Chain A
């Protein structure tokens, strides 16, 4: 019989080959040069073994910590694929257990049921989420960020002020990493009836595309009512974040820094994507115009990576999930106070994507392109309308901040250009045509 240390040794030896095959592994762009353990926690020392492992993955000059749960019970060592071992994690949270330096805790106002089996959900991209019964979902962060994870911090704060548009946070797993208390897992209420906004929106687009002669406001699958309620939900979450964690106003220096960051991104993207070049003057002008935004610009904690895939439709309305911010951005940027209009801009971009996704890779069809644009316009307007209805007074109607909103949206589109160019060249036309349209239209 092998002990935990033999198991860890065996796993470490296989990791350089194993990691790149995992969906959640963020470093697929270059080979793994070395893997070394940062901390080992033995959750179960005997049959079956269950070991919590944080490893540092070295790839050329990049070093990043990843979380693993390993066992000898399944072939690939990944304990999250074993329903009973996954259930063990939930039990530890229910017991407020502390094991080998790992602290499992449930939130003070809840009781967690034990004895459930856990199964991984398939839609998760960069982490591993386990669902227990139809009640709980445990997100195990894979690439770890030192310190408390903003996802947990923000959702706890929102729950404290009674926010109705999040799934209730129920517990956490933390460990010490580099001397810092670091969030490695987060337990939330699971909503079995939920559907993500992307699936909802593309259902509507599909319905419109299948109609010959009807307009976006005439088809049965019209999404505008949903988009409007979604706008209200996002505005309400922003107002709740403001109530819970406060807000400030951006000064001239903040605005200058923001504009310069957008221009810098543009310059670097156009270097590698020549298709963007024709729009550079108009984009620069749009970014500079952000300085002319009338009145004070409120900044606060925001979602940071809001798009249709980060919202869930339930029978009780829309919820926002995954408050981690843009996973690729540095933690300082992810936790900084920013204008909530960035989230609005992210969602507006997402409506453009949903409208055009059926056209990608298809022969050009003017009729469908017109329909897609019609859908995007209608639902972007409905979303903005809903947002304005429920926005906090310091944020106000986004349409009154046209220059700033437009700059955020274009900045996001420039980011998408870089992403699509590197990963999905067929999709490049989606952000490019949006940039052409938005810069051509001027301020809405």
Chain B
């Protein structure tokens, strides 16, 4: 068992690449790569609050572009596609983990925080990507898992081998498996306990997720410092922020469910302080899959504008958008927004229609699940669809009107929109690959071999490209849509552009306008500009497949005139009576309200 005592023995593929545990210092500490060992990227321009108006784009490094022909996307490949993303109007890339990992949990099982997964490239390649992105005004954030590591991480190898060494207390060890009985088991299908016995150390270790992902012991000040240094390592290289994964679980406490504990918030405040003091303008985005009323805790103290995470995902909005269109009723959306509390002035929601890893009913607590079932279970088709992972286009049966309606809502509801790679061209999925990989197929660039994603032998590609007659790459690809002015791609780009012209859609306050027709969701975004004038945008969405009229009470804006934002057409002025609009099935309007005699401005 102990024939090979090297702490990096469980790391694979990192020969010749700087990594953690290549050597052990005289103090018994592992030697880890330092940011000074690398060139760092030129920083993005300093704009506090940039994230509040940014359009995010989630892209899987593996799936976007392969620069070296090995069949797997990589950092250099992604860098070569930045012109496209700049053209599309993307402000910030969100990359799921690209760290060294045994890949038993999609890369969320990190075996070295300071090395890049070799098939994606190297730290130098990441710095190159950052530089190229920043040159185009695009920022980059990535996932960081604070709660646990892979059991292959040299820290864990040291911890199990040398209980009395400097890493002995890095993880949560116990002589029995009886502590913290009130913490639920998250992956009930695969794990029977939050404790697993380690024969090497002869003790049990604590893990909230898979048994190959031991939880770090945040009680240990050394662990807190080590994780802060992990943040600093990437921030020094120039990264623009992190999505902090699984934040509710950092600390444990007897007699609690070990979630959202006060000390967890205290540690997030420390992370935020490091960012504010040492790296102003970078962001922290919390992954906390909970109800908005609970998630707001992760923004921190509203008195100071928020002192924990800058952003958090609004999870329940997405399924409710789908539910509202299915029901042809605005109430599922109106209700969840009415239940969404105010957030601190320095904070912003992240909203999305799809991402790589959907909301599943298994991921929520019993109480929340009861609520979800009460709301959704009446509709069996909804129940079947929520919780499986499909792309936007197939979920909407490839209906162009609905794809536009959904995207228009994503770009106009409160929060920063997060697009999922490929949805801008209406890419399909491959359900035969199993639900994790179904939505992770290669980006479709051209009708050429491997959809232009890779020059490799097609048999070598990490997942087959989509080849079905509807979504296949030969018809559905970026090149074809670039050349077609009426394509979904060009439409999406245009809508992103319009959104950016109206800051009300980014930071404006949100008012649900109700209205006489339950199938029409109408809301107002109002932004008071620094010069004191107001930018008011009115969004009207027909959630029904049938044409609908709606009467809106706009009497507060009497004598204003709605100007449609994509074409600039001036609609009749608003009077004392209800304002009547008619919409085609799944149609929507974005208007700016201008003074009746004003010709309307660009922003």
Contacts and interface: CB of A to CB of B under 8 A. Distances in A.
B381 A218 contact: yes
Contact of A207 (B328, B380, B381, B516): B328
B335 A315 contact: yes
A396 interface: no
Interface stretch (A40-48, A187-195, A344-352): A187-195
B326 A221 contact: yes
Interface string A111-123: 0000001010011
B414 to A, nearest CB: 15
B378 A134 contact: no
A83 interface: yes
Contacts of A222: 327, 378-379
A225 B375 contact: yes
Interface stretch (A152-160, A198-206, A297-305): A198-206
A203 B551 contact: no
B553 A203 contact: no
Interface residues of B, number: 34
A220 B382 contact: yes
Contacts of B375: 225
Contacts, number: 79
A194 B334 CA distance: 11
A193 B378 contact: no
B519 A315 contact: no
Contacts of A193: 334, 512, 514
B555 interface: yes
Contact of B378 (A122, A200, A225, A315): A225
A131 B512 contact: no
A192 B512 CA distance: 9
Contacts of B334: 193, 315
Nearest to B338: A315
Interface string B359-385: 000000000000000110011111000
Interface in B542-584: 544-546, 551, 553, 555-556, 576-578
A221 B378 CA distance: 10
Contact of B576 (A119, A122, A123): A119
A219 B382 CA distance: 10
B292 to A, nearest CB: 14
B290 interface: no
Contacts of A203: 328-329, 518-519, 544
Contacts of B328: 203-204, 206-207, 220-221
Given A195-B517, A222-B379, A225-B375, A313 B331 contact: yes
A188 to B, nearest CB: 16
Q: Which of B512, B513, B515, B555 has the most CB of A within 10 A?
A: B555
A200 B329 contact: yes
Contacts of B577: 119
B576 to A, nearest CB: 5
Interface in A180-235: 191-195, 199-200, 203-204, 206-207, 210, 217-222, 224-225
A241 B553 CA distance: 33
B578 A122 contact: yes
A78 to B, nearest CB: 14
A114 to B, nearest CB: 16
Contacts of B546: 206, 210
B336 to A, nearest CB: 9
A159 B335 CA distance: 24
Given A192-B553, A203-B544, A210-B545, A221 B514 contact: no
Contact of A122 (B380, B514, B544, B551): B551
Contacts of A437: none
Interface string B501-526: 00000000000111111110000000
A204 B553 CA distance: 24
From DSSP, what is the main secondary structure of chain A's interface residues? Answer: loop
Nearest to A201: B518
Contacts of A83: 576
A217 B380 contact: yes
A192 B515 CA distance: 7
A366 interface: no
Nearest to A195: B518
Interface residues of A, number: 31
Contact of A220 (B379, B512, B553): B379
Contacts of B551: 122
Nearest to A194: B514
Given A206-B546, A313-B331, A316-B338, A224 B378 contact: yes
A133 interface: yes
B338 A313 contact: no
Interface string B299-343: 000000000000000000000000001111101001100100000
Contacts of A117: 555, 576
A389 to B, nearest CB: 12
B556 A133 contact: yes
Contacts of A191: 514
A224 B378 CA distance: 7
A199 to B, nearest CB: 5
A145 B521 CA distance: 39
A199 B378 contact: no
B553 A131 contact: yes
A208 to B, nearest CB: 11
B380 A315 contact: no
B513 A192 contact: yes
Contacts of A192: 513-515, 553
Given A131-B553, A133-B556, A207-B328, A195 B382 contact: no
Contacts of B338: 315-316
A433 B118 CA distance: 74
Contacts of A313: 331, 518
A144 to B, nearest CB: 27
B314 to A, nearest CB: 16
Nearest to A131: B553
A174 to B, nearest CB: 28
Interface string B65-90: 00000000000000000000000000
A148 B515 CA distance: 32
Contact of B553 (A134, A200, A225): A134
B576 A199 contact: no
Nearest to A119: B576
A19 B414 CA distance: 49
Contact of B327 (A218, A220, A316): A220
Contacts of A316: 338
Contact of B380 (A133, A218, A221): A218
Given A193-B512, A203-B518, A316-B338, A220 B576 contact: no
Most buried by B among A131, A133, A225: A225
A199 B331 contact: no
B565 to A, nearest CB: 24
A217 B577 CA distance: 39
Nearest to B517: A199
B123 to A, nearest CB: 48
Contacts of A131: 553
A199 B551 CA distance: 13
Interface of B: 325-329, 331, 334-335, 338, 374-375, 378-382, 512-519, 544-546, 551, 553, 555-556, 576-578
Interface of A: 83, 117, 119, 122-123, 131, 133-134, 191-195, 199-200, 203-204, 206-207, 210, 217-222, 224-225, 313, 315-316
Given A117-B576, A219-B379, 15 more contacts: A122-B551, A133-B556, A192-B514, A192-B515, A193-B334, A195-B515, A204-B328, A207-B327, A210-B545, A218-B381, A221-B328, A222-B327, A222-B378, A225-B378, A316-B338
25 contacts: A117-B576, A119-B576, A131-B553, A133-B556, A192-B513, A192-B515, A193-B334, A193-B514, A194-B514, A195-B515, A195-B516, A195-B517, A199-B516, A199-B518, A200-B329, A210-B545, A217-B380, A218-B381, A220-B326, A220-B382, A221-B328, A225-B375, A313-B331, A315-B512, A316-B338
8 A-B pairs with the lowest CB-CB distances in the bound complex, closest first: A220-B326, A193-B514, A195-B518, A225-B378, A315-B338, A192-B514, A315-B334, A315-B335
